[in-house]
């Protein structure tokens, strides 16, 4: 359900809200910050968009994706295999899926999201991009094991979901990754902000955590060690921690045994 509103100020941020499938019951909302103002002719039927970027009809735009896609391509690009299948969990608007599929033609990229609105946006971005290696989005909820694919895939990518979903979603993500990453060396790549015992929480992340919890008490920044333990329980071991812009981390896990 689109719940965004138009704002008049150029610097203000509009947020569109996705509602999860009714069957989930739990409040699993995701917001995509999008630009408040859109130039005439750039506005489409269901969303606002970044004034710098033309967005295909029916697609959503995310300011965060515009900022982090370049660094993610660079960081993940060095670790994704040259060929193989990638399952992206919680693809949201779909901009990362298009960017990765375009940059890595040897990969068969499958985006997914439980939100019908997100999948419609992914489909719109994908139609405009017309990439042969980008599959249609799957309706995949990490809390609904019955709908999970069986794989195998060579990599699972999940960007900015863990802190905007209940902790159970992290467990689901790890079990899913454990199921589809069957071969040793299989890669699980996570991106987002985390708490770390050995690192002082940046004020911006503390404020973000508070705002997430204000919107939903089950959301919030996760302890990296707890995420690591959940992955290890599925045979996935943290092999790399990369500091990213704006106090985010890329965490790379590998399957160590079949």
For ligand SAM, the binding residues (CB under 6 A) are: 18, 28, 30, 62, 64-65, 89-93, 113-115, 118, 141-143, 159-161, 164-165, 169
Minimum CB distance to ligand SAM, residue 160 (Å): 4
**21 or 152: CB nearest ligand SAM:** 21
Q: Which of 123, 120, 121, 178 is nearest to 149 (CA)?
A: 178
Q: Which of 6, 164, 190 is nearest to 96 (CA)?
A: 190
Q: Which of 171, 104, 99, 88 is nearest to 136 (CA)?
A: 88
Minimum CB distance to ligand SAM, residue 85 (Å): 18
Residue 87 and residue 157 in contact, taking contact as beta carbons nearer than 8 Å: yes
**179 or 184: CB nearest ligand SAM:** 179
Backbone angles phi, psi at 220, to 5 degrees: 140, 165
**29 or 253: CB nearest ligand SAM:** 29
d(C-alpha 62, C-alpha 69), whole Å: 10
Residue 218 is classified by DSSP as T
d(C-alpha 94, C-alpha 129), whole Å: 11
**164 or 251: CB nearest ligand SAM:** 164
**64 or 86: CB nearest ligand SAM:** 64
Minimum CB distance to ligand SAM, residue 21 (Å): 9
Minimum CB distance to ligand SAM, residue 31 (Å): 7
Minimum CB distance to ligand SAM, residue 116 (Å): 10
d(C-alpha 249, C-alpha 194), whole Å: 7
Strand partners, 87: 110, 156
């Amino acid at each position: 359900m689109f719940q965004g509103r138009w704002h008049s100020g150029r610097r203000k941020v509009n947020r569109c809200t996705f509602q999860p499938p009714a069957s989930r019951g739990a409040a699993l909302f995701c917001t995509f910050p999008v630009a408040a103002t859109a130039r005439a002719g750039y506005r489409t039927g269901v969303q606002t968009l970044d004034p710098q970027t033309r967005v295909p009809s029916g697609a959503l735009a995310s300011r965060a994706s515009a900022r982090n896609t370049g660094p993610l391509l660079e960081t993940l690009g060095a670790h994704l295999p040259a060929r193989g299948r990638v399952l992206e969990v919680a693809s949201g608007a779909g901009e990362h899926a298009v960017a990765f599929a375009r940059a890595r033609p040897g990969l068969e990229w499958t985006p997914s999201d439980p939100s019908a609105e997100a999948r419609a946006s992914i489909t719109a971005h994908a139609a405009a991009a017309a990439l042969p290696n980008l599959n249609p989005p799957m309706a995949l909820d990490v809390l609904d094991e019955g709908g999970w694919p069986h794989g195998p895939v060579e990599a699972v990518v999940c960007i900015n979901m863990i802190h905007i979903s209940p902790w159970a979603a992290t467990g689901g993500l790890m079990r899913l990754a454990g199921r589809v990453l069957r071969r040793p060396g299989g890669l699980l790549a996570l991106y987002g902000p985390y708490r770390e015992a050995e690192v002082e929480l940046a004020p911006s992340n503390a404020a973000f955590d508070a705002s997430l919890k204000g919107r939903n008490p089950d959301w919030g920044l996760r302890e990296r060690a707890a995420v690591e333990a959940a992955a290890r329980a599925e045979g996935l071991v943290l092999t790399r921690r990369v500091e990213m812009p704006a106090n985010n981390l890329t965490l790379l896990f590998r399957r160590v045994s079949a």
